[in-house]
Amino acid sequence: MTNMTVLAGGVGGARFTRGLLAHLRAVDPDSSVTVIANTGDDLWLTGLRVCPDLDSIMYTLGGANDDERGWGRMGESERVSAELTAYGVGWPWFTLGDLDLGTHIARSSWLRDGLPLSEATARLAARWNLGATLLPATDDEVETIVTVAGDESADIAIEDMHFEEWWVRLRASRPALAFTQRNASVARPAPGVLEAIATADVVLFAPSNPVVSIGTILGIPGIADAVRATSAPVIGVSPIIGGAVLRGMADACLSAIGVETSAVAVARHYGARRDGGLIDGWLVDEVDAEAASALHADGIRSSARPLWFSSVEETAAIAGDALSLANVPHSGR
């Protein structure tokens, strides 16, 4: 039996994990997968705790995600959201669908009863038959705050805002100067997180945002150390193809932390475990094959193949190639 632990953000992390599960069903059906999800995008809105990345993973693995839009439930309606907007409650540009609201109400009701997020997540997930264990990185409220550049000519000052406001309302149109994970320094990993990393046979970094998804998970005290210390190989899949992002806004986030938007720069940002960094292997797209050879010298095993998630089958093959970088027995290669 092989234990896999995946560090994941929302849409990319969810799709990668779905492919990994499809691959494992075919080649290693007894394996187990634990997903450690980013909680930095979470927020209280309209009195409810909304956890975008946990929900994207839950809906995707549960077969209920709106894959066209990327987030939320398929077959969604927005009647309640329209009512809330009419009352001037919430963010009119951040739509909570009617079915999705059921998830937020259930979660918030358990949280108000005093349950930790990890327990509320387990109760939500139990309905969906995910085929994986879904863990929030932390039970504590660690929200990503973006320091957004001002614009003197338009008399707009530098300001701090929740990540969702920068991403969804502004569509990252104003440059981010910094990302702060509020409360991160005193947060603790959720129950099961450190164990899942320590006891894994392979740890995988999904092709999620290195700053506001994987970076936020690794910023919870203890998690990066657990990744450095695990006896399992740690393999990442590049979220960058040919100098551009697969999806989302990783380029705007990387520039704020001074990292170039390239497959090789992101791998070096994580660093080789051999030298105290976080990864042993890095799967890149075929257009970045040169990056793969450059990384070998840095102590990062790397191989190149097409990384577009065009179908579940293709994503399963990508996950299989990530596992071959780890030399996992039964990886089907």
Site of interaction with ligand FO1 (CB under 6 A): 9-11, 41, 50, 52-53, 55, 71-72, 94-96, 100, 164, 168
End-to-end CA gap in the chain: 17
In the complex, minimum distance from the CB of residue 63 to ligand FO1, in angstroms, rounded to a whole number: 17
In the complex, minimum distance from the CB of residue 300 to ligand FO1, in angstroms, rounded to a whole number: 26
How crowded is the C-beta side of 186, counted as CA atoms within 13 Å? 3
In the complex, minimum distance from the CB of residue 96 to ligand FO1, in angstroms, rounded to a whole number: 5
Longest dimension (CA), the chain: 61
Give strand pairing partners of 118.
none
Residue closer to ligand FO1 by CB (options 23, 73) is 73
Phi, psi of 304 (to 5 degrees): -120, 140
Structure tokens at 52: 């975008």
How big, in percent rounded to 5, are the helix, strand and coil portions of the chain? 40, 20, 40
Residue closer to ligand FO1 by CB (options 205, 317) is 205
Alpha carbon 172 to its chain centroid, in Å, reads 18
In the complex, minimum distance from the CB of residue 51 to ligand FO1, in angstroms, rounded to a whole number: 7
Residue closer to ligand FO1 by CB (options 161, 198) is 161
In the complex, minimum distance from the CB of residue 315 to ligand FO1, in angstroms, rounded to a whole number: 17
In the complex, minimum distance from the CB of residue 104 to ligand FO1, in angstroms, rounded to a whole number: 8
In which element (H, E) is residue 58 found?
helix 52-61
Residue closer to ligand FO1 by CB (options 95, 138) is 95
In the complex, minimum distance from the CB of residue 42 to ligand FO1, in angstroms, rounded to a whole number: 9
205 with 37: CB under 8 angstroms? no
For the chain, strand residue ranges (E) read 3-8, 32-37, 43-45, 48-50, 133-136, 143-148, 159-162, 176-182, 202-205, 234-237, 240-241, 244-245, 281-284, 301-304
Residue closer to ligand FO1 by CB (options 19, 72) is 72
Q: Is 285 left (phi over 0), alpha (psi -120 to 50) or beta?
A: beta
Residue closer to ligand FO1 by CB (options 28, 53) is 53
Residue closer to ligand FO1 by CB (options 166, 270) is 166
Residue closer to ligand FO1 by CB (options 46, 183) is 46
In the complex, minimum distance from the CB of residue 268 to ligand FO1, in angstroms, rounded to a whole number: 24
Q: Is 44 left (phi over 0), alpha (psi -120 to 50) or beta?
A: beta
